[in-house]
Chains A and B, each alone.
Chain A
């Protein structure tokens, strides 16, 4: 077997454009997923029992079903309720919802890892629940959470390849298009894989750097 990468070099810029879409989608999803996930996580540890139950059920459902099914529900299912979303929007919403379930659990873990004494001291000093969360617990919890949130971002970069099933022209989708033109399947998907690897490992490195900076402060 001989690999001939020259067959796909004319299409390299297409792959890179796809990679850009992948990064955009992952960034947006990790952002919305983190915002929403923090809310879910805060509900999960709230002193109000119904909020805890709702958050627990949400996390349970999201983590217990495949991302692909969630994407299909949003893109193919919602139109039957009269809600037609463009593919990219549906993809971002699906990825974000999926991510929020995982981030919610990360946030819960991060908050619960802050020693109980911090709550005690805050209460004795008269701080309300909201102020304790804001000034005392979350700043410490975020440090606990950062590595896991970083992993979540890396996971999203990979999982976003499922967006190809909604015909979004992200990296995997573009890979399929390039393959169908060049018939160089092996070379194309090796190149696609390498691009994913570069994106995930540079993200990891960047996050390690950020973590180090935070730990010093």
Chain B
């Protein structure tokens, strides 16, 4: 179910380049094949949600895209530039891609403000004043400007994740990757983080969101990708994936995820209802 043109030539110059292009990506940890030839293209401005069971390779794919993992085979392009080799420094990737982790990974010994300004000053080369001004704007955007002098340890999980999002945005990235951004949060704190992500999605940022929040994925994304056992099994519009998925595995997964919520996007007899869809 690959969207990519599956040719090994670099993307042609002059055309509008997709923000992210992954071609036949293989990644294994020892004997465990985690990604088995995944191909995926994300045009600029698109919001893609990646869903699927634990261990399906969702996080590994995101970590390969931002070069947190070396890949075994395949190619990764960001805006037409190949980035899977060793000729790209952390610095180049950091200015292009922001990543949000499940565990926030804020720097506990620094204030919220210092968390937001450390990298812009050191990597983007902003002056302290510029970085602080920029950070204040971002803290306002995530609703935490009054916490600028707090240490991460004084914040709730939801506030930490909002600070982490602001910190990633402070690098002014073109692409944001979210690796299960709400999985470590208490249920009552999930909403505030999803609100911030939804706000960002509305602003035209290219985003890849790995999530188990099905309702959120349905509402916020332009496209939903379902991964299982290291492959992309199916992808399509949220309406399509959540109401009439083609693959039996997708159906099974969605039933399991949605049953405890008392929600069923696909109706009693999902596949039959889909037969007549335009």
Contacts and interface: CB of A to CB of B under 8 A. Distances in A.
Nearest to A132: B90
B107 A126 contact: no
A140 B98 contact: no
B93 A126 contact: yes
A31 B56 CA distance: 51
Nearest to B124: A126
B118 A135 contact: yes
8 contacts: A117-B101, A117-B105, A120-B68, A123-B90, A126-B91, A126-B93, A126-B171, A127-B122
Contacts of B99: 124
Interface string A90-125: 000000000000000000000000010110110111
Nearest to A126: B94
A136 interface: yes
B267 interface: no
A123 B109 CA distance: 17
Contacts, number: 58
B95 interface: yes
Given A126-B94, A135-B118, A121 B107 contact: yes
B119 A126 contact: yes
- Name which of A123, A125, A128, A139 has the most chain B CB atoms within 10 A of its CB: A125
A126 B95 contact: yes
Interface of A: 115, 117-118, 120-121, 123-128, 131, 135-136, 139-140, 143
B90 A120 contact: no
Contact of A131 (B66, B98, B103, B122): B122
Sort A-B residue pairs by CB-CB distance and give the 5 closest, nearest first.
Answer: A126-B94, A121-B105, A117-B105, A125-B119, A126-B123
B90 A127 contact: yes
A189 B223 CA distance: 81
A92 B142 CA distance: 56
Contacts of B106: 121
A97 to B, nearest CB: 31
- Chief secondary structure at chain B's binding surface: mixed
Contacts of A120: 68, 101, 105
B58 interface: no
Interface of B: 66, 68, 89-91, 93-95, 97-99, 101, 103, 105-109, 118-119, 122-123, 167-168, 171
- Name which of B93, B119, B167 has the most chain A CB atoms within 10 A of its CB: B119
B101 A121 contact: yes
B68 A123 contact: yes
A136 B107 contact: yes
B35 to A, nearest CB: 19
Given A120-B101, A125-B123, A139-B109, 15 more contacts: A115-B105, A117-B105, A121-B101, A121-B106, A123-B68, A124-B93, A124-B94, A124-B98, A125-B119, A126-B91, A126-B93, A127-B119, A127-B122, A135-B118, A140-B109
A161 to B, nearest CB: 38
Contact of B66 (A117, A124, A136): A124
Contacts of A117: 101, 103, 105
A131 B91 CA distance: 12
- Name which of A115, A123, A126 has the most chain B CB atoms within 10 A of its CB: A126
A140 B90 CA distance: 22
B146 to A, nearest CB: 21
A126 B68 CA distance: 11
A17 B227 CA distance: 75
Contacts of A115: 103, 105
Contacts of A127: 90, 118-119, 122-123
- Name which of A117, A121, A136 has the most chain B CB atoms within 10 A of its CB: A121
A44 B188 CA distance: 43
B218 to A, nearest CB: 28
Nearest to A131: B122
Contact of B90 (A126, A135, A143): A126
A109 to B, nearest CB: 18
Nearest to A139: B109
